A and B are shown apart, each in its own frame.
Chain A
Amino acid sequence: MKGVVFSEFIEMVEDKFSPEIADRIIDQADLPSGGAYTTVGTYDHAEILSLVGCLSNETSITPGDLVQAFGSYLFSRFHTAHPSFFTGMNSAFDFLGKVEDYIHVEVRKLYPDAELPSLECEAPDTNQLRMTYRSKRPFAALAEGLIRGCVAHFEEDIDIAVEDLSDGAGTAARFVLIRN
């Protein structure tokens, strides 16, 4: 997993909780990388899972909720770091519909070794978007967070229903977005 995810995670913990908690969970998680993350590096995704586990112990918030919150945070950071991806995007459906064909393509140019999940989209009507997430990694909750972050960014009134497709493993899920 790309280093940017890890460094953003640590930054979020430092920011939303405290530097002490960040320091502590890094210590507790006993990471192979020692928690010294650089955005240009690549790290084992298990590290983020251990970090989330430790943070959950520390804060008594469920790991799912934490990952989802991180997803929303990541989206806002993404917007700050890569505003060019947002030009000409007028709504959440607009943006999400292009993740697979446009954003992932651009990401691959920057990180040829990035292992990206697949995100299939269908739009049965103009007010509905069905997205199917599939990955080798259990980050359905992260995906949900990112989607929620996106909806929040465009400030739209959209209901999101989540259907687990992986028997609780978190590697596949369907998100049904309905605009009100």
Chain B
Amino acid sequence: MNELEILRRRLEREKKARQAAESIAEEKTRAIFEANRGLQRLNESLEETVLQRTAELIDARDLAVEANRAKSAFLASMSHELRTPLNAIIGYSEMLLEEARESEAQRQFREDLGSIQSAGRHLLSLINDILDLSKIEARKMELFFERFDIRGMIDEVVTTIAPLAEKNKNRLIVTCPDDIGTMKSDLTKVRQSLFNVLSNACKFTANGEIELVAERQRHDGAESILFTIRDTGIGMTEEQLAKVFDAFAQADSSSTRHFGGTGLGLTITRNFCQLLNGRIYASSKQGEGSVFHIRLPATPAQPSAVPEPAADPAPAQAPRTVLVIDDDPAARDLICRNLARQGVRAITADGGLDGLHAAREQQPDAILLDVLMPRMDGWSVLTALKTEPALAEIPVVMVSMLEDREMAFSLGATDYLTKPVDKEKLQAILDRHCQPHTARSVLIIDDEPAVRDRFRHILSKQGWQVTTADNGAAGLAALADAQPDLILLDLIMPEMDGFEVIAQLRRDARWRDVPVVVVTAKNLTVEDRLRLNGAVQKLVRKTDSGLSELPAILGDVFPAEEPAAD
């Protein structure tokens, strides 16, 4: 009994203990829950903090990006601002130099002018360097391939580098075979590459020798030009040599301080060489000197999209009128004087709106259009010109300090020139795109406006002066006004058809010899052919392929005077 009582009491205690344990467990569970909740809150607020920090970071990054953009814009506009007066200095000194050339008495004066000009060019190249590197970095560098005389290019480089060589009492030796011939590359970039390497050689050599050797070689089955620049200067260690092509790298930051420079020269040069499908490499020995090699293909591997300038532009015969639109008076003046020397009549406008106005009034043969202008920039002017039918055919040559060929061509510009405007390039472009008034003219007689437009488009691009008439009678009236060099004639037209036009032409002595090209959709019968026989030069089918053959066909009709191909 007693035992039972003890067991009962023990059970009682166990029960109580269990309940106590349960309530403790419950309490602990709650405590854990609370702790968890606290952690969760902490976590959330952490997340919030992280989000906030991230937002702050994004803001900071955006600010940095914006600042960088602003910096680039500043750099671009700054170099524009610098280049405008600089171009004027170079241009004017060039003009003066030319004038001074005429009198032998002005020798000293001429030399001074030469110095002004070369200093100006050097400054310009420094500014261009800065812009080049940012462009290379932004992968926006454009190439302009042209065929040039290697010897001539080297002579030019040597003239520029000679004062630098003399400064450190270095002897400059140039070895270039007379018959080395021409190469097709980007002249500016080749010249600058050689200049950069040569200027290093001059800078890091004193009382020594600097040698420039140019050779034509067959390399990897292709013609290449190898330029070797050898100096007897301070040279470099292997470590230094390994870094010379890195941006801002100077072999020895402390000791090269007194040589000046930014460490960009070789970086730009290597980039240029790569762009031109060539390469630059070097060897050097400290205390003995360095050798740099630049190997460039003699012609680009793939045919470049940029046309080769006409080898021998036909000389202008009659005065041409060119409209110059530029906000900078000095730039306008320079171009006008250049044009005057070429026998071109220049009219000017100092802004886009004035320019459009002048273009409408004077119908110039070509327009030289500056890109960066206040209020209305060159791109807007170009677009306006191209959307106005009466002006759309006038060739527009963009003139800018920036290389924006693609933009220019996509907006319909005919060609592109960079400032300072090279006299010869300007002349070549004008000869190519803007024919003198005696240039071939064509009368298009067709009743379909779409066909007329199409012909006008194709032919004016070829340098033809285009007049149109929408039926035979109107065509004959136009003939009486001004006699064209060629008539493009449709056969089926209302009022007076093509057959009738031909009959009338044959009857009049003035027009009998004007060549006629018939363009028709008609399937000609034997009878038709008989009526045309002997009276027309060519027959062109009015199909797409027929039309696209038109320039070639006209070339056949005018073999001697084919307009410069574009």
B17 to A37, Cβ gap below 8 A? yes
- For this complex, into which size category does the number of interface residues on chain A fall? 10 to 19
Partner of B13 from the list A20, A35, A39, A41 (CB cut-off 8 Å) is A35
A36 to B14, Cβ gap below 8 A? yes
- For this complex, into which size category does the number of interface residues on chain B fall? 10 to 19
Specify which chain B residues have a CB less than 8 angstroms from the CB of A26 in the assembled complex: 13
A23 to B9, Cβ gap below 8 A? yes
Chain A at the B interface: SS class: loop
Which residues 64-119 in B have Cβ within 8 Å of A in the complex?
Answer: none
A146 CA to B7 CA in the complex, in Å? 31
B2 to A20, Cβ gap below 8 A? yes
A40 to B16, Cβ gap below 8 A? no
Q: Is B314 an interface residue (CB 8 A)?
A: no
A20 CA to B13 CA in the complex, in Å? 14
A19 to B6, Cβ gap below 8 A? yes
A36 to B13, Cβ gap below 8 A? yes
A41 CA to B13 CA in the complex, in Å? 14
Nearest chain B CB to A28 CB, angstrom units: 13
Which residues 7-34 in A have Cβ within 8 Å of B in the complex?
Answer: 7, 19-20, 23, 26, 34
B2's nearest neighbour on chain A, judged by CB, is A20
Nearest chain B CB to A27 CB, angstrom units: 8
A34 to B25, Cβ gap below 8 A? no
B6 to A40, Cβ gap below 8 A? no
A34 to B16, Cβ gap below 8 A? yes
- Known contacts A19-B10, A23-B10, A26-B13; A38/B2 CB under 8 A: no
Q: Which of B7, B15, B16 has the most CB of A within 10 A?
A: B16
Chain B at the A interface: SS class: helix
B17 to A38, Cβ gap below 8 A? yes
Specify which chain A residues have a CB less than 8 angstroms from the CB of B9 in the assembled complex: 23
Which residues 266-307 in B have Cβ within 8 Å of A in the complex?
Answer: none
Q: Is B21 an interface residue (CB 8 A)?
A: yes
A36 to B16, Cβ gap below 8 A? yes
Partner of A41 from the list B2, B10, B15, B21 (CB cut-off 8 Å) is B21
Nearest chain A CB to B28 CB, angstrom units: 8
A36 CA to B11 CA in the complex, in Å? 10
Q: Is B20 an interface residue (CB 8 A)?
A: yes
A26 CA to B15 CA in the complex, in Å? 16
Q: Is B24 an interface residue (CB 8 A)?
A: yes
| Number of interchain pairs (Cβ within 8 Å) | 37
Specify which chain B residues have a CB less than 8 angstroms from the CB of A37 in the assembled complex: 13, 17
Specify which chain B residues have a CB less than 8 angstroms from the CB of A34 in the assembled complex: 13, 16
A20 to B21, Cβ gap below 8 A? no
A38 to B10, Cβ gap below 8 A? no
A26 CA to B14 CA in the complex, in Å? 13
Q: Is B18 an interface residue (CB 8 A)?
A: yes
A19 CA to B18 CA in the complex, in Å? 19
Specify which chain A residues have a CB less than 8 angstroms from the CB of B16 in the assembled complex: 34, 36
Q: Which of B7, B17, B18, B21 has the most CB of A within 10 A?
A: B17
A23 CA to B10 CA in the complex, in Å? 7
A38 to B21, Cβ gap below 8 A? yes
- Known contacts A19-B6, A20-B2; A40/B21 CB under 8 A: yes
Nearest chain B CB to A1 CB, angstrom units: 15
B24 to A40, Cβ gap below 8 A? yes
A94 CA to B189 CA in the complex, in Å? 83
Specify which chain B residues have a CB less than 8 angstroms from the CB of A20 in the assembled complex: 2-3, 6
A38 to B13, Cβ gap below 8 A? no
A36 to B17, Cβ gap below 8 A? yes
A41 to B14, Cβ gap below 8 A? no
A41 to B6, Cβ gap below 8 A? no
Specify which chain A residues have a CB less than 8 angstroms from the CB of B12 in the assembled complex: 36
Specify which chain A residues have a CB less than 8 angstroms from the CB of B20 in the assembled complex: 36, 38, 41
Specify which chain B residues have a CB less than 8 angstroms from the CB of A39 in the assembled complex: 21
A26 CA to B9 CA in the complex, in Å? 10
Nearest chain A CB to B29 CB, angstrom units: 12
Specify which chain B residues have a CB less than 8 angstroms from the CB of A40 in the assembled complex: 21, 24-25
A35's nearest neighbour on chain B, judged by CB, is B13
B18 to A38, Cβ gap below 8 A? yes
Specify which chain B residues have a CB less than 8 angstroms from the CB of A19 in the assembled complex: 3, 6-7, 10
A43's nearest neighbour on chain B, judged by CB, is B20
Which residues 122-170 in A have Cβ within 8 Å of B in the complex?
Answer: none
Specify which chain B residues have a CB less than 8 angstroms from the CB of A41 in the assembled complex: 17, 20-21, 24
Nearest chain A CB to B79 CB, angstrom units: 70
Specify which chain B residues have a CB less than 8 angstroms from the CB of A36 in the assembled complex: 12-17, 20
B22's nearest neighbour on chain A, judged by CB, is A38
Specify which chain A residues have a CB less than 8 angstroms from the CB of B21 in the assembled complex: 38-41
A39 CA to B24 CA in the complex, in Å? 11
Nearest chain A CB to B419 CB, angstrom units: 80
A19's nearest neighbour on chain B, judged by CB, is B6
A91 CA to B13 CA in the complex, in Å? 39
Nearest chain B CB to A12 CB, angstrom units: 15
Partner of A23 from the list B6, B17, B24, B25 (CB cut-off 8 Å) is B6
Q: Which of A19, A26, A38, A41 has the most CB of B within 10 A?
A: A38
B5's nearest neighbour on chain A, judged by CB, is A23
A165 CA to B28 CA in the complex, in Å? 39
Specify which chain A residues have a CB less than 8 angstroms from the CB of B17 in the assembled complex: 7, 36-38, 41
A26 CA to B10 CA in the complex, in Å? 10
Specify which chain A residues have a CB less than 8 angstroms from the CB of B3 in the assembled complex: 19-20
Nearest chain A CB to B265 CB, angstrom units: 68
**Other CB < 8 Å A-B pairs besides A19-B3, A38-B24, 7 of them?**
A34-B13, A35-B13, A36-B12, A37-B13, A38-B20, A39-B21, A40-B24
Give the A-binding residues of B (Cβ under 8 A): 2-3, 6-7, 9-10, 12-18, 20-21, 24-25
Give the B-binding residues of A (Cβ under 8 A): 7, 19-20, 23, 26, 34-41
23 contacts between A and B (CB under 8 A): A7-B17, A19-B3, A19-B6, A19-B7, A19-B10, A20-B2, A20-B3, A20-B6, A23-B6, A34-B16, A35-B13, A36-B12, A36-B13, A37-B13, A38-B17, A38-B20, A38-B21, A38-B24, A39-B21, A40-B24, A40-B25, A41-B20, A41-B24
The 4 closest A-B pairs by CB, nearest first: A36-B16, A38-B21, A38-B17, A36-B17
